[in-house]
Chain A
Amino acid sequence: MSTAATERAADAAASAPQPLTMAGALNAALRDAMEADDRVVVYGEDVGPLGGVFRVTDGLQARFGDERVWDSPLAESGIVGTAVGMAMYGLRPVVEMQFDAFSYPAFEQIVSHVAKMRNRTKGHVSLPMVIRIPCAGAIGGVEHHSDSSEAYWAATPGLTVVMPSNPADAYSMLREAIESDDPVVFMEPKSRYWSKATLELPVRTEPMDRAQVVREGSDVTLIGYGPTVRTALDAAAAAEAEGLSIEVVDLRSLSPFDDETVGASVRKTSRAAVIHEAAQFGGYGAEVAARLTERNFFHLAAPILRITGWDIPYPSPKLEEHHLPTPDRVLDALASWEWDLA
């Protein structure tokens, strides 16, 4: 077969319903976005021939050439800072931070420039760019490879912050993030990279600013995002055996927060708990609990709980299981309410 024919065959194989990992879905989203819009460029550390340390950019350089996909010098502030200039000139850069804690050198560029550019220039400059951040733990990573930095980004006006929890959303939300005229911090839960779903591409799920009820229930709303949606679903399945009906909401978008969907669920169940891997103090769960309480206090039968990592730096791989919220810990927390189910 010719190269083009091989590519066509590969494309057909890719779009037919088949089990796809989240990493594969993200890869397909990048490929399709680059195919659809020649303004999209992809760069970062090791995203070229290696295809990224998680292979999310696998094959893109071979397909699109090194003027659209390239390895940058190892410098996160440089990666984000140059993307600002590229977006100003009309490109739509998608840059990778490789690991969560490696994004911190880019903090200033993201917070002081990416988030504020549109505002400080009175709308004259939009920055349509995506900053991909593989995030969170449970992959046995050593120090600085398992942070949950979402609260920093979500607390920054001007940024859109999203985190998919499954392959279909990963594909759909990344396409949408790239199409957005606002800068998007796109967080990818590493522990879910290898989760699979059978998908027909291109798949479009709910708009990325909407939360989604991923399991119906009547007694409690469990609110998770990214890696903790799985935790919530596992807890719900276990609780079912105990006669407790748990609804699970996948936030998908951390900023903006979908008050409507989450609020409706909380008013329905009258009890809610939010689950995240990041530390509790000042964490994203505090915002969730506060705003849901402000808007729904008289519908609540109990205080909103937070089930989170401890208030400690992320631990070493052999101890991370003691840090991460587990379904058991979720169920124990729910049991702390003084239930009056009668």
Chain B
Amino acid sequence: MSLNVEHHETRVLPSEKPLRLLDNAGHALHGRETGGFELPPVETLLELYRRMVIARRFDVQVTALTKQGRLATYPSAYGQEACEIGVISAITADDWFFPTYRDSIALLTRGLAPAEILQSFRGDWHNGWDQHAHRTASMATPLATQALHAVGLAHAARLRRDPIVTLTYLGDGATSEGDAHEAFNFAAVWQTPTVFLVQNNQFAISTPLARQTHATTLADKAVGYGMPGYHVDGNDIAAMYAVASAAVERARSGGGPTLIEGLTYRIESHTNSDDPTRYRQQRDVEHWKRRDPIERLEKYLVSEGALTDVVRAEIGEAAEELAARTRDAMSEEPQLDPLELFDHVYATPRAALAEQRAALEAELAAHAAHVAHAGAAGVPAR
């Protein structure tokens, strides 16, 4: 196509050792390990820290609400904050984000309200927020399908000469799906401004990475499509943000797509309904807890004098305020109109659906009359 840009040199395999800018003790690194990326300014890192702390408080709160039965299910991203927040923070409000079901905290950072983010997990409606207002697509449950949507939207924007970037998140399991392959390939062939984040949290429900892929790293896959791939320490938000920012900048300037693998770990279970003790060792969980993304950045920020007690208290307050807001939103029973079931199936009205809508309306009216009658007769309504 005529939109094609020059072919970039993309044959360099990603490093086998993940790129890092901060080590686990929060020390800034220099040299090979950093892959030529620079540590973001301390004020940027402080903002990222703030976002991670608030996101974790949200995640912990929602997990608790799920245990109380307020939500039907919740896929936690505890431990993955550096990937979730670092990468979403690299795009602008004009760019488009295509999330999966595990990306609630990225949606939070994106500016969606808790009730909007959680409506599908509570069971109100699938994904009813205004996609265009937030420039944020629905959470996709079928794996890797949304990556193609991201590529298509990016291509459409490019045809329109709009300088926007699309960002999509996938899990390690999703890279086995055909749609991941097709999305990577289409993006590379069409040179769309798309950034793929593969959050390698090492388990697809219970299936470990070794049973998912034989590749040395998931970032290696990029090379076969002719796009750059980066294997990054997914618990180092400085690195995730720096690599993502570079990828977004390259995409925006016509340099095509990038695949970023963030190597991280899912501390919680897949959702509240599985039992991780059946498929993983507690000592592994403990190992990864010691590599916590928030603690790592905290050490750095404290050593730089940027994270004072005052700032810490302010962030803590903001986090608690959000948690309270989330509790409030989830304790309110949603007002749902059963007849709305028929309202969003087709743009063009259908006679058969109008008939079915009328049938449900009659059922509801009959039920209401029954309840009223039973109440009048002194019989407790069910």
- A interface residue numbers (CB < 8 A to B): 41, 65-67, 70, 72-73, 75, 77-78, 80-91, 93, 105, 108-109, 112-113, 116-126, 157-158, 160, 180-182, 209, 256-257, 259-260
Contact = CB atoms under 8 A, between A and B. Distances in A.
Contacts of B140: 113
A84 B131 contact: no
Given A181-B348, A259-B351, 5 more contacts: A73-B189, A81-B182, A88-B153, A122-B344, A158-B346
B186 A78 contact: yes
Given A67-B3, A88-B149, A90-B156, A82 B186 contact: yes
Nearest to A109: B145
B151 A82 contact: yes
Interface in B33-73: none
B103 to A, nearest CB: 16
B174 to A, nearest CB: 13
Nearest to A260: B351
Contacts of B346: 118, 158, 160, 182
Given A73-B186, A75-B186, A82-B186, A118 B153 contact: no
Contact of A88 (B137, B145, B189): B137
Interface of B: 1-3, 125-132, 137-138, 140, 142, 145, 147-157, 159-160, 166, 178-179, 182-183, 185-186, 189, 340, 343-348, 350-352
A256 B128 CA distance: 25
Contact of A124 (B132, B166, B186): B132
B351 A124 contact: no
Contacts, number: 148
Q: Output the residue of A84, A87, A109, A160 with the most chain B CB within 10 A.
A: A84
CB-based closest 6 A-B pairs: A85-B152, A81-B148, A82-B152, A85-B153, A78-B182, A120-B126
Contact of B149 (A84, A120, A180, A209): A84
A306 B130 CA distance: 45
Contacts of B160: 89-90
B157 A81 contact: no
A180 B348 contact: yes
B177 to A, nearest CB: 9
Contacts of B343: 123
Contacts of B178: 77, 105
Contacts of B128: 120-122, 124
A53 to B, nearest CB: 21
17 contacts: A67-B2, A70-B1, A73-B185, A78-B185, A78-B186, A82-B149, A82-B151, A82-B152, A83-B152, A85-B148, A85-B155, A87-B152, A88-B152, A91-B159, A117-B138, A118-B346, A119-B344
